[in-house]
Homo-oligomer: A and B are copies of this chain.
Amino acid sequence: MKPVSDAVLHSKKSSIRKLFELFLKSTDAISLGIGQPDFQTPENIMNGIRKALDNQKTMYPPALGIDELREAVGEKFRKENSMRWVQKENVMVTVGGSQAIALTFAALTNPGDEILINSPNFLSYYYIPAYYHTNLVEVARNPDYSINFEQLERKITPKTKLLIINSPNNPTGYVLTKNEVEKVVDLVIKHDLYLLSDEVYEKYLYNGRTHISPASLDGVEDRTITINSISKTFSATGLRVGYLAAPADIIPLMEKYAQYTAAGTAHPIQYGAVAGIKNGNPKMAEIIRKYDERRKYSFKRLEELNFDCPIPHGAFYIMPSVKNYAKTGDQFSEDLFNKQKVAVVGGSSFGSFSSDKVRISYATTKENLEKAFERIEKYLEDLK
Contacts and interface: CB of A to CB of B under 8 A. Distances in A.
Interface in A221-257: 222-223, 235-240, 250, 253, 256-257
A62 to B, nearest CB: 9
A184 interface: no
Contact of A111 (B34, B36, B133): B133
Interface in A75-129: 95-96, 98-99, 101-102, 106-111, 123-124, 127-128
A156 interface: no
A223 B106 CA distance: 28
Contact of A239 (B9, B107, B267): B267
A248 to B, nearest CB: 13
A302 to B, nearest CB: 26
A58 B235 contact: yes
A46 interface: yes
A326 interface: no
> How many monomers of this protein are in the complex?
2
A263 interface: yes
A213 B15 CA distance: 37
Given A50-B53, A239-B58, A261 B2 contact: no
A383 interface: no
A59 B237 contact: yes
Contacts of A169: none
Interface in A1-57: 1-9, 11, 13, 34, 36, 40-41, 46, 49-50, 53, 56-57
Contacts of A236: 58
A275 B263 CA distance: 23
A240 B257 CA distance: 16
A61 B253 contact: no
A98 B262 contact: yes
Contacts of A265: 240, 266
B260 A5 contact: no
A60 interface: yes
A299 to B, nearest CB: 26
Interface of A: 1-9, 11, 13, 34, 36, 40-41, 46, 49-50, 53, 56-61, 95-96, 98-99, 101-102, 106-111, 123-124, 127-128, 131, 133, 161, 192-194, 222-223, 235-240, 250, 253, 256-257, 259-269
Given A40-B56, A238-B264, 5 more contacts: A4-B107, A5-B110, A6-B110, A58-B239, A131-B260
The 6 closest A-B pairs by CB, nearest first: A238-B267, A102-B261, A127-B260, A98-B263, A266-B266, A41-B58
